[in-house]
Structure 1
Amino acid sequence: MKAMKRAGTIVISVILWAIILLAALYAFTTMATKDDQNVASILGYTPLVVETDSMKPTFESGDLIFIRKCDTSKLKEGDIITFHTIIDNQYALNTHRIQKIDEANGVRSYTTIGDNNNGVADQHVISDGDIVGKYIGHVSGLGKVMNFLSSSMGFLIVIVLPMLLFFIYQVYNLIMISIRLKKAMAVENAEEIANARIQQEKADQAADEAARAKDEAQAALEEAKRLKEEAEALKAKAEKELKEARKDED
């Protein structure tokens, strides 16, 4: 029973940590793209959710991609990069493959293209300052999870509710531990009281025995004194009779 309970606790803890990690990933991906001017990263890495199929089959809408900050001077044609650009007259992030690199007066410019855009390059040519990082890999479908978490219902079901249940479970555990601790302390106190009572009874018994022994010793002493007095009286009587006997002989 204890082994099963311990195993259940471990499983719940693993689930909780998975939820926490998922929540952290969701929070970071949300934070990473909240500000179009500055993309957040951890140790140079940033997760982003793919919104279109422009790079299919390399990755597609609903995937979660990972980009890493890079030295733009080492980029080459064919690399996949994430960069700031204009899409539908809005400032946005895009992740496409470098089709061509041009350099003039030490300044590089990049023409990009989506793998699924039928050979049509992106309208805007970008520079080093537009580049956020280089694509290093993706997890298929995980972006859909992030998008679901971004909804109020998804966040409530997947993040808030499990964490609330776990919190309630932990509070219940603390209460049970407190109850067990109080019971253990009560048992220990009862044992101490019982032991103290036994020791007191033994002490009282020893005191009674000592008192009886003292009384017996006193009685024996009194008896010895009486016998001594009788013996002295008999001796005195014998001496007196002896004296009288000698007077009669004279």
Structure 2
Amino acid sequence: MKNKRKNPSLSSVVGIIMCIIFIPVIIINLILIVSSYTNPEEIPGVFGVKPAVVLSGSMEPTIQAGDLIFIRETDPNKLQKDDVICYLSSGKAITHRIADITTGEDGRLQFITRGDANNAEDQLPVTADQVQGIWKGGRIGGLGNFILFMQSTTGMILFIVCPLLLFFLWDIWHRRRLDKAENARTKELEAELNALRAGKETEKEKPDIET
């Protein structure tokens, strides 16, 4: 009886662990995917933090190709020289360092950028509306390729469909396990009650002994 009482608690712990692992992954992945479709002109992010995959080595050795970096939303007016910013150019995310800050003919702020590994500044200045955020050092080496895979069709199946399926299958298994345990416990109680009733009936049938 003791083992049967421990099993449900163990399965509950497993369920909690699965929720902790899978639910945040599903939610974050869904937010990134939906954001990329609803607002394709911006890098999707969560709570002001935008993950970006570095595809080139223009910022080496500070940032390596294939790294996953974390861009934080910022006010372009507060950017300074030597800040590393991420901006969109022709739909492509580029992360370079600010070499100079100027003002265009229309009076709008412009940023002259350059990659740390490049010998020359970028040809086109970056406008404030192109800036996606500032990079302050957060990166995970080599994780960029995994992120690109996760956003592919195969990746979405593995990291959204499969976790949901596993969670539902575990929930079904867990409920059936609890039902079986409850049914077994009910049968045991019924057997005990029947035994008690049979004992009482036996006592009643015993003849009285005169003293």
Larger Rg: 1
Asked if the contact 1:98/1:113 (under 8 Å) is kept, the reply is: yes
**Structure 1 equivalent of residue 125 of structure 2:** 125
Per the normalisation by structure 1, the TM-score is 0.66
Shift of 1:143: 1.5
Asked if the contact 2:15/2:170 (under 8 Å) is kept, the reply is: no
Shift of 1:15: 6.0
Report how many residues are paired: 204
Change in 2 beyond 3 A, CA 1:203/1:72: same
More helix by share: 1
**Structure 2 equivalent of residue 101 of structure 1:** 101
**Structure 1 equivalent of residue 115 of structure 2:** 114
**Aligned residue identity for 1:18:** I
For the residues of structure 2 that align with 1:162 and 1:44, how far apart are their CA atoms? 26
Query: Which range is displaced more, 16-25 or 73-82?
Result: 16-25
1:61 to 65, 73, 76: 65
Query: Which range is displaced more, 188-197 or 4-13?
Result: 4-13
For the residues of structure 2 that align with 1:169 and 1:41, how far apart are their CA atoms? 30
For the residues of structure 2 that align with 1:192 and 1:138, how far apart are their CA atoms? 66
Change in 2 beyond 3 A, CA 1:14/1:115: farther
Highest RCO, 1 vs 2 (Cα 8 Å, sep ≥ 6): 2
Per the normalisation by structure 2, the TM-score is 0.76
Structure 1 spans left out of the alignment, 5+ residues: 217-250
Change in 2 beyond 3 A, CA 1:152/1:80: same
Change in 2 beyond 3 A, CA 1:79/1:10: same
Asked if the contact 2:88/2:132 (under 8 Å) is kept, the reply is: yes
**Aligned residue identity for 1:202:** E
For the residues of structure 1 that align with 2:36 and 2:95, how far apart are their CA atoms? 13
Structure 2 spans left out of the alignment, 5+ residues: none
Asked if the contact 2:67/2:144 (under 8 Å) is kept, the reply is: yes
Identity across matched positions, percent: 25
Coordinate RMSD, CA, aligned: 3.4
Asked if the contact 1:26/1:146 (under 8 Å) is kept, the reply is: no
For the residues of structure 2 that align with 1:41 and 1:75, how far apart are their CA atoms? 20
**Structure 1 equivalent of residue 85 of structure 2:** 81
**Aligned residue identity for 1:184:** R
Asked if the contact 1:32/1:46 (under 8 Å) is kept, the reply is: no
